[in-house]
Each structure stands twice: as structure tokens, then as C-alpha cells.
Structure 1
Amino acid sequence: MIIYENPRQMALSESQILDTAQHFLMCGIEDCGKNCLFYCNPCHQPMCEKCRDEHQRSPETKNHELVPYRHRKDQLPVEKCRDHPTKDLDILCDQCSVPLCSKCSTMPVHKGHFFTDLETIYTENSAACRQEIQNIKAYFIPMANDLQNEIKLDATNIKTIMGGIRSSMMDEAKSLKTLVDEVTSDNIEQVNKMEDSLKEMLESQDIIYEDYISYLKDLVNQFYGYLSSTQFQNNAIIFPLSEYFKIRPIPETTKPVPPVFTAGRYSKEMVTKLLGKITVSKTEPENRKVKAMETASKHLKHTRLQGREKYGVKQRLSSSVTKVREYTVPGADSVHHISQGKSSSLWVSDNGSHIVHTDLQGNQLQKIKTSGVRYVGNLTVTQDGDLIYADIQNKVINRITPDKTITEFIKTGDWTPLSIHSSHINGDILVGMIKEGKGKVTRYNKTGKEIQNIERDNKGQELYSYPHYITENINGDICTSDSIKQAVVVVNKSGQHRFSYTGQGSVFFPRGVCTDRRGQILVCDINSNTVHLLDQDGQFLCLLLKQQQGAWSPCSVCVDGENNLIVGQRETNTLPVYKYLQ
């Protein structure tokens, strides 16, 4: 409570109490001390009801203007007239727009001019200034703070995105280098085989000539024997020698033909095409949303609450959501998993182990029968627009190209693939698998080569038991919904355990999981028929969707290109779409 002992203190302090809930003003008449309700404008004196009545009865002040306190005039600062030093400036010449004293108004230069009471103008403008101060404090400063905080958040997100791009570039370079090493190794191995074959041929020819030379030497020795013999009875030299001169011809052999190496033809542009390149987005930047001033007071409390939620102060409150549309998936009896394809089409898997591709008008584009099981995130759309899905029975990952051709993409060996996600950062494939009661997450590059296995934390404890839904956050974190552990298990891109979210005290049966453009994590709880909203570090923000808002047995979630939430449910093929970010 603030008590003012005189009008001057009241005038000086009033601007400081605009935002306070209440204040108490005392009557300005000496020794009164009662509550001030009225104001004498000529005297600039606050008064109680009794003092006002006495003031009106006094002959000296009976004609004074007495008004309710809130209609008072502000006291005009005293300033003497330059031309008439004994007079105060108290009027304004409307034509000349200069303050005057009453004596100045009689001067010839102001003859015929209109004048306005300077105190009235001062009061009106003072009130306008106070209102403008209130507007600045209540609207402009909070709105500018919100926009400034949004810029800081954008800066953080840009740093994360750029880090992801750099990481993707390095991964692409490593992937290409691995392929180059593999191709070079294959070529060298082929050259070695060719060399061995040619050496074997030359060694064979060498043996042929070695045998032939030995034959010739034996023949020479035979002829020398004929010449040195002195016995004619059996000496062939006295007989015709034609038969002995039939020497075997020199064997024919072929010269080796070595292979020719044709150097590859490539350019910087070709390598750039292989590795990918960074381009400036053609998307026009959106203007930051500034709420209209007339709605500021209505939404001020809500806006400040949102600001605290966005920038660090966690509120355990239910967030309001608005249903904006719904889709129907023909040919599906439920929606156990959702993935958005190109042109905003949707791929879903249902209770009957079907995969259905549909456009947003409800037209079925493709339907596939798989060997899947219920409640798994068994499909995902790649950066190239292909669908890949887990064939659980055959333990393979299949690919469906836009021309609807199905090919075997990855074999998972003894491990049964349950969940799958294609990274939007670098195109890697994340697969949640099980074998003999154990679980793991395996990362493949986009060519299908295994590059990482995640099974245990840094204490050697098993991270997963049944990783049936999986996604990746904007910072590279891998978020996995595990129904046996009843938790959302989150590791960083290196596989180091960051945190596990186990619900809000009651039994938690997590199903579908996804992330949004802010890095927030959304997960279905089929036990309580809710969708939980977490921040990037696993802190609970709110129950984003409850049963009374239409979440009946939610088992899959997906965030579309407009950052709206699409929810798939166990008993229906209808997909409600909600706006939850303001």
C-alpha cells in the first residue's frame, strides 16, 4: 500500500504505479487523512467527500471545478511569460501554436485568434503519454522480447542444422571413399588374377621350349655319334639319311596380350554430383508473426506463458490443440504407423499387416500385403522418395520405388527388424531389431551398408528390449519407443545414452514416436490414451492430446510439412490432424 501526503508526491509517483494492483490516495487537506475521491482542478488538490463539500460552500472556492479523481487535470508546470514576467504561460494560440499568458492574448498580433487552455492540452497529452507508456510496457516490449527470443532459438536451430549438414557431408565423403577403396581393391584383385594367368601361360610356353631344346640337343649328339663311328655294319650314315633328317618343327607359341587400363573420366562437377552440394533454398523467408496490438491485452498472459515454455521455463500444463482436418485411409482397418511421402501423400501400416499408400483426397495409390506384426513402426520414406519397410518374417528390408517395383534392400541376418526410420539429415537408415529377447539399433548408410550398432550404455547395461518405433531428432539423437522397457530411450548420434523417459508416474505404454521442427519429442501412450510432449532433453512439457480431445488408443504420430500433428489410432482408419504450435 502506498500513501501520498501531498499532490506533488502523487503526481511524481503516478507513472510508477500504472502496473500495480491497487493504491490508496489521501485527501490533500491538512489534518484530514481520509480517502481521496475527488479533485479540485483550479487548486490541484485531492479531496475526500467531506472536504469537497466544504470547498464548494466556501465563498472563495464555490465556483471551482471539482471532479472525480480519475477525471482530474494534470497540474501545468509553472513557467513565466518572457514578455510579461509576472504572468504564467497558461494558454495556447491555436493559429500560432505558441504558449502565451493572458496578457499576451490581448496583443494586436493575436487579435481574432482562438485560444485553448494550456492545462487542458497538458492534461490530454499527459494522459496520452501514460497510455502510450502502458502500451509500450504491455505490448511492444513483450512482443519485441518474444521476437528476440525467437531469433535466439532460430540461431540455435540454424547451428544444429548446419552441424547436421557438415556431418552429412563428412558421412557422404566417407561413404564415397569407402566405395572408391572397394572399387580400387576389386580392380587390383582383377589385375592380380590376370597377371597370374599370363604368368602361368608364359611358364607353360617356357617348358615347351625347354623340352624342344632338349630334343634338339639329343638329336645333335645322335648325329655326332654317326660321324665318329668306324663300324659300318650298323652305322646309319652309310644308308640314306632322309628319315633321320625329319626334325620336329619349332613349336608355335603366342605372345601374351597384357590388359589395358582405361583411366576413369571424372570432373569436379561429377564428384560434386556424387557427394551432393549445399544450395540456397528457394523458399521465401516468412515474416515473423507480430500480433495485432488490439489483441495484445487479451493474449498477453497466454503469450508470456508460451514464451516461458519455449525458452526454458517448463510448464506442466495441458496444451490447447485445434483439430484442423482429418484424412481417411481406404483399404486400412487401423493406423499403426504413419510416414509422409512426397507430394504430402501418406504411407500407413494397419492391423492386418497391410501397407497402404494414399493421397490426401482419400484415393488409394497402392496396397501391399506384408508379414508384419502389430504396433511397430515398420515403414519409412527415404530422401529419394522411395518407401522401405521391414519384412519381419523373412528378416529383410525391402524397397519400393515410385514405379511400384519391390526389391530386397538389406538382409538383417539372425535379427528380426521391427522399426525403421530414414534420416532426413543424411539419408542413413535406422533399424530397431530383436533376437532372443535382446534388442539393438543398427545404422545403415543409404546404400544399405551396416555402419553402426547400438546395444548397451556406457555401464554395459542393455539399452533395448523391444524397440518397436524409432525416429531421429533435429540434433541427430535417436529416439526409440520400447514397449517392454516402457520407455522412450534416447541416444546421441554416436550411440551414447542421453536419457530415458518413462511417463508421468502411471503405467506408461509408449507406441509411436516422432519429433517436430523445434526438436520436441511426441510419443503416444496407449495406456492413458494421451500424447506426451517432451523437450529435446526429455523434460515433460504437457499432455498434448487427451482422450476427451479425440485421442482414442493413439498408436502412431507424424508431424506434417506444416508442423501439424497427425495421429493414427488402433480402431479406425481416420487420421485427425491437429495444430498445436502457435
Structure 2
Amino acid sequence: MDPRTSAQDVKRCDLCETAVVQMHCDTCLVNLCKACVGEHFSADLSKPHKIVDFKDRKSTPLYPKCKSHSKERCQMYCKQCDIPVCINCIDFNLHLGHELSNILRVLDEKKESITKERNELDETIYPTYRGIASDVQNRMSQVEKEYGDLSTTITKHGEKWHREINKLVNKLKAEVDEMKNTQLQTLQKHLDELKKTMSDIKDEINSMETVIDTNDVSKLLSVMSKVHTYRNIPHKIIPSLPKFIPEKIQGEELYKMFGDLSTSSLASDKHGYSMKTIQKSPEAGSSPQVKQLLDEPETVTTIDTGYGRLFYVACINDKEICTTGNNNTMNLYSINQGSLLKSITTKSGNWPCDIAVTKSGDLVYTDYNDRTVSIVKNEKIEEVIRLQNWRPKDVCSTSSGDLLVIMVSDGDRQSKVVRYSGSTEKQSIQFDDKGKHLYLSGRLISENKNLDICVADYRAGAVVVVNQAGKLRYRYTGHTPALKNQAFRPIGITTDSQSHILTADYNNDCVHIIDQDGQFLRYIDCRLSKPWGLCIDTNDNLFVAHCSNRRVKKIKYML
């Protein structure tokens, strides 16, 4: 094996290329063995060669040459001129009055700046781009699947058309056969009558020929001729055949009759991605664990709440849930036992319109008729917000501890989302960039892990998602085909640790799972019956409140 070309060999001297390297010239950046040091010195006596042990290589600063004095090296740096300067530049007052700094200090500052930028690239920017690339790859796979589903839908619709066309063709052909048989039967009857008459005429001819040759007068006188009967020629029967007049096929009209294919688009959302920093120490925290959706979600437990109609459910913790229905109580249940732990009656005696749980574990509820939002602390009810000209409907607690409240104007003509810190209004979200209303009638609200605000707009048949600043990101209007072929009616909403958005589809008895950018992922069925309120516990288990049968189902849908 050639030691000069072997990748497994040790470093060799750059001059002789055989001896093991021992020294290094920090001036020329050349590796040397001890025997070649002298030769390297004598090769260029104009340079101040700095020879160090190989392990200490690059430890000597390599000062830049001065642009004004070619034989000098610069050990200072002029901050005003932003250039290195030598001792002659200083002696000749070329930078008189300027702020000068030791070039090694500038070097250290530059290295520190480069190190910070390198760390930002390595720990923040590159992982972000890698995550975006992964997201785009996943989106491509999803697009491939969605277009495949679209082609399958069109094919099935075409097959349905073929079946209907075949039915129509067979019906028309049956009508043709029926008309043909009717006319053939009529003609056959006519032909049979003609043949009988022809036979009778033949018999008459034969009878006449017999008597013509006789000389018996009596026989001749007895012949009664029927010629006059046969002189009445029968009517001619002329069949009138039907005609098929095909409608001219107009391509554009046929296209419209078959179905309309909406246009595709690629939108760019500058708020779609955010920088992600890799956490490198336990003290700094850790990124959320990546979880996969189960192929088949499974029901873990079912809790019977006893309400006439059940509306909302909220996780107090991983052991308790709170529910509301068509009365003025909020009931707490044990998840494992399914038993009622306590009941809390609203302060006004009205039905609670919605419930939520704060970061500290306190229960919050809205009172539509009383125009208030209240918090339950230590079983005592404290009014937090009181509205005028507006009525609170639904509420959620954010990661920052704020409350997001959906409210409607008197008369239910307008709807908006308002952010509160305590009793102080911080933000109002009502219109898009074009001044149009974002919500027809917001029903339930949730904040995603990326701080998007997600609203189930039942009346509009859409999930409306805006970013933290209140700018519209997208509207999700359901997935085709729907499980029960009913219109999409989102009424409950929640989000999980993976930034999935889960919304209860009341009409189709299922829950839709979409990603943070509004792409459909899958349905959760699990024999749901008129699902209404949703919530997620810390382990990403889903709780679904069934309006019709008053039960809460705990469903596992992620690994």
C-alpha cells in the first residue's frame, strides 16, 4: 500500500512526502518533519517563518499584509475605515483621530460573531429548513393521495353514469322491440288473411274449371260466382317506423352535467412556518415527541352522564372531566370509575354555554343569558368578564394564560373572538383583510400549539383558522367523500400535542383530524352519535361528548 495515497496512513511531511509530520509552519501553513525544517526556512528567507509542534498548528496569528505598506503586517484595526493597519500607517498619521483596536481583539469578536451565526444556522435555521422539507415531503404524499382519491371519485361517478346510460339504452331498445313486435304481429295477421283468401280463390278456380267442360245445364246454373268478393282488394298496410333522433353531444354542456372540477392553487403563507430551535440540554426543555396516528382508533371507556342532552366536556386533569348539558349544573366525573364526583351550579341558574380549564386547573364557564364569563376557584364562582351589547358563547384558555371568548352581538348578527388577560380586553378578531366577517356564528374555539386560533363555525360549515395576529390562514370546509354524505357541520373543536386540529362533525357522526395547515388526515368514527364537545388530555386521548345519548367516550387515536 502506497503510504502517500492510503487513506488509513498518518500525516506525512509536505516536502519529502515520506516522513511522519512532526512540525508545522504557521506562517505558510505547511506540515514538516524535523529533517525538512531547515530546507523550508531556506526556501523563502523573506518570510518570518513560525515553526511550532504539529499539535499546536494554527495557534500563531497570521497577520494580514498592509495594503499601503506591502512589507508590513497589520497588528491594528481602524474601526472608522474598517481595514487592518500597520505600524507605519500609525506613524505616518494616516488614521489620525480614528479609533484603533488590537487586531486580535477584532479577530476574537469576529470569531464570536461567526460562532453565534454558525450555531444559529446549525441549531435553528437548518433544523427549521429540514422540518419544512419534511413537511413539504409529507404534503406531496398527501397531495398524491388526495389526487388519487379525486381520480377514484371521478371514475366512480363515470361508472355511475355508464350504469345510468346503459339503463337508458336498454329501456329504449326494449321500447323498440315492443313496437317492432306489435307491427310484425299486425303484418303477420294480415299475411295469414291474404294466404287464406288466396287458397279460397284457388279453390274457386278449380271449381270453375270443372264445370266449364260439362254439358250438364243444371251444374252450370248452380254455380254461384264469388268473383265480385275478391275484386275488393284489401288495404295496403304500411308500417310507420319510429326514428331515433339523438341529441347532439355538446362537450361543454356534457362536462357541466357530469360534474364540475374546481381549479387547483398553490398559496404562499408567510406565517405558515416558524423557526424551531433544537434543545440540547434537559434544562432547556425538549421538543414534543413525534406521535403517529393509529390505523384504527379505539374506544377506551364510556361514561354515562345522565343529562337529557349532553353538550360540552373538558379535562380537569388526566383523572377527571367536567361536563355540561341541558341544565344549570356542571358535573365532574372520575374517568376511570365513571362515577359522579361533584356538581357545581351556575351562579345565575342559567345553563352554562361552554366550559374550559385554565392552566392552573380552574374551571371557566360562559353564561350567554347573563352576559358573563366566570371562573370557579375552590368551589367559589367569581365573575371575570361582563359584556354589554354582546353575549359570550364559547371560551378556551391559551398557553399564555389568556382567555379567548367567542361572542355574538344582540340579535346574533355578528360574531367575533376577543382575547382577555384577566378582565382586560387585549385583542379583537372579527374581519379579514378585505373587511369581510371571519365568522358567521363561531361555535367552539381552541388554540393550537403553533398559537393559531381555531374556530368551529357551525353555520358556515367551516373550521376557520387565523394566526396569533388574527390574520386568516385558511378555512377547512370538510372532506369528500363524507362518511354519511351529509353537509359538513363542525360543532366541537380541540387540538393535540402534534398541532393536529380535531373537529366534531355533527351531521356525519364523526371527528375530522386535519394538520396545522388544514390538510385532511383521517376520520374518527368509533360509532359516534351526534358528537358535540371535544377535549384532549395530556396523553393525547380524545374525549367526545355525544349530544344524543348523553355519553362521553374516551378514544385512543395516537401511538
The TM-score with structure 2 as length reference comes to: 0.46
The TM-score with structure 1 as length reference comes to: 0.44
